Every structure is written in C-alpha cells, then in structure tokens.
C-alpha cells in the first residue's frame, strides 16, 4: 500500500543556484549536504519544504521546458511576495492559464534547469467546487 509521497528529486547543474530558488522562493530549510562525499549517484542536498523532503543532486539539466511540474501550496496573501522573489532571481515566469472563477491563483516559473514549479493558492476541494458551477 502506498503511504504517501516520500520525496522529490531534482537533477541540477549547480547546487548553490538551486538552493537560492528553494530557500528564497519556497522557504526551504536545508537539512543535509553531502559535501565531498557521495552516497548516491551524485553529490546531493536535502531540504524540507512544508514537510516534503526535496532532494537536489548534481546532474544534467532537463533538455527542454515542459508543462510537467510540481505545485506547492501558498496562501493567497503571499502571492505578490513570492512573485517578487521569483523575479528577483531572474527566473522565467509563465503567463497563468485561463482560470475558472473561484479556482484560486497560481504562479508558474522555471528554475535554471528547466524544472517547472507552480505556487498555487487553492485546494483540490476548491477547484472541484469551481468546476462544478
């Protein structure tokens, strides 16, 4: 039986650069840095983002940008602050998709390695309610 999400891993060309995204935009707390040791396939760092274990490892960035993404929950009153943090890092922000009234707001942005992130201010329950109307 699947118990839930264990962790998310991102392959990146620069651990420090990705750390700036995770810490400044997603309020990540670094909990581990392998330093010069290598226990897995590459040097790695672990972060806690809202109780989710996020691993970052040295590797090749994604070759292209797609709509595959990871979405993190934010409160709506944080929207402008998070958007400013993303823009301060010079990250590419996408125009949001057309929304159904009551669906909440999202910020979609790419990191330096073509990973797409979403910061979403709503919940699944709210989205389903909006779609039903």
Catalytic residues: 44
Phi, psi of 102 (to 5 degrees): 90, 5
The 3-class SS string of 29-90 reads: EEEEECCCCCCCCCCEEEEEECCEEEEEEECCCCCCCCCCEEEEECCHHHHHHHHHHHHHCC
> CA 131, CA 102: separation in Å to the nearest integer?
9
- Among residues 42, 9, 47, which one has the least CA distance to residue 27? 47
Burial 63-73 (b: 16+ CB within 10 A, else e): eeeeeeeeebe
């Amino acid at each position: 039986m699947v118990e839930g999400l264990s962790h998310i891993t991102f392959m990146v060309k620069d651990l420090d650069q990705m750390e700036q995204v995770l810490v400044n935009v997603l309020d990540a707390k670094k909990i581990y840095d392998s330093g010069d040791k290598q226990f897995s396939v590459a040097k790695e760092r672990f972060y806690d983002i809202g109780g989710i274990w996020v691993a970052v490892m040295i590797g090749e960035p994604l070759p292209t940008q797609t709509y595959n993404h990871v979405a993190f929950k934010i409160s709506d009153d944080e929207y402008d602050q998070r958007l400013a943090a993303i823009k301060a890092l010079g990250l590419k922000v996408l125009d949001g998709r057309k929304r159904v009234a009551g669906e909440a707001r999202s910020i979609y942005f790419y990191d330096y390695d073509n990973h797409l992130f979403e910061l979403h201010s709503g919940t699944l329950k709210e989205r389903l309610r909006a779609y039903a109307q």
